[in-house]
Amino acid sequence: MKIIRSKAELRAMTEDWRRAGDSIGVVPTMGALHAGHLSLVEAACAATDRVIVTLFVNPKQFNNPEDLAKYPRTEESDAEKLTPYGADVLYVPDGAQMYPEGFATTISVSGVSDGLCGATRPGHFDGVATVVTKLLLQTDADQAFFGEKDYQQLQVVRRIAEDLDLKTRIIGCPTIRESDGLAMSSRNLRLDDRARATAPVIREALSRAAIEIREGVSVETALQSARSRLTDAGMGEIDYLEFRGDPDLAILSTADRPGRIFVAAWLDGVRLIDNVPVHEASQHERRLEPAD
């Protein structure tokens, strides 16, 4: 796997691949790679001839400077983790490559960006939308792979590709979880042992609420018991816990069409997010549901 740091070198490489008739897949990341990212790389390697993994900790999507400063930077071990997967390039641009002097453009998506993390992290999705648009163009990708853990981000990126007539197909891939159900995230590294032991309650609370809604409990009651479950287990402030339509992310008060439950909650100074679909039971939920 070649490490490339400049747009010009990346362009020369993708032009060579195009001349050879190869298709290109991209997996955008901010590094601190875990099995969730690696599953995206696997999906990309299976779907396209050439695969670029990007690593750029994008300052424009951090609304909190402390969060940006604390974000893990682990390029060397990220490159090692990628080695067995067969990606062709690790693209690691610096700030000057991405946002050179005079940079003045922001991509802003309305609708799907507005609630959830868009409401609690002002400016976050403008930063994501701007950097992802640049990465899709710089890599000339036919397909781009994103995890469903960041479901709102996935819908924002789908909107951009559609609205800006980008040729890149956006592929959503399932959330990868630890064996206790915690969604994999680079932020999990910041949890101490006690917080790490508490964190699986997030998926547990969402799954129970999904089961309850499927069984006919009202959305309001199911969300209220999920909230109590989180608080009783020792979770801190809950930024949001909501049932939203899929894929438009409109707030739903009844389950008369497919939707997902979304949460963002704090634990030990770390903000964790997760979501589960309500219209289809996961394997985990099938185990929790009473047998007929």
Interacting residue ranges for ligand PAF, rule: CB under 6 A: 28-30, 58, 61, 128, 131-132, 150, 153
Smallest distance from the beta carbon of 131 to ligand PAF, in angstroms?
A: 5
Smallest distance from the beta carbon of 70 to ligand PAF, in angstroms?
A: 15
Looking at the Cβ atoms of 87 and 230, the one nearer to ligand PAF is: 87
Per the residue annotation, which of 34, 37, 124, 284 is the catalytic one?
A: 37
Smallest distance from the beta carbon of 55 to ligand PAF, in angstroms?
A: 9
The amino acid that residue 276 corresponds to is V
d(CA 1, CA 39): 17
Looking at the Cβ atoms of 105 and 283, the one nearer to ligand PAF is: 105
Give every CB contact of residue 175 below 8 A, 6+ residues apart in sequence: 36, 147, 148, 149, 183, 184, 274, 275
Smallest distance from the beta carbon of 142 to ligand PAF, in angstroms?
A: 17
Whether 37 sits among the annotated catalytic residues: the reply is yes
Paired sense of beta strands 259-267 and 143-147, if any = unpaired
d(CA 22, CA 25): 10
Looking at the Cβ atoms of 30 and 112, the one nearer to ligand PAF is: 30
Give every CB contact of residue 48 below 8 A, 6+ residues apart in sequence: 22, 23, 24, 25, 142, 143
Looking at the Cβ atoms of 154 and 230, the one nearer to ligand PAF is: 154
- Identify the CA nearest to 176 among candidates 162, 186, 163, 189: 186
Smallest distance from the beta carbon of 104 to ligand PAF, in angstroms?
A: 19
Burial of 7 (C-beta count, 10 Å sphere; 0-12/13-18/19+):
middle
Looking at the Cβ atoms of 144 and 261, the one nearer to ligand PAF is: 144
Q: List 266's β-bridge partners, or say none.
A: 271
Give every CB contact of residue 86 below 8 A, 6+ residues apart in sequence: 45, 51
Q: Which residue is nearest to ligand PAF (CB)?
A: 28
Catalytic residue numbers? 37
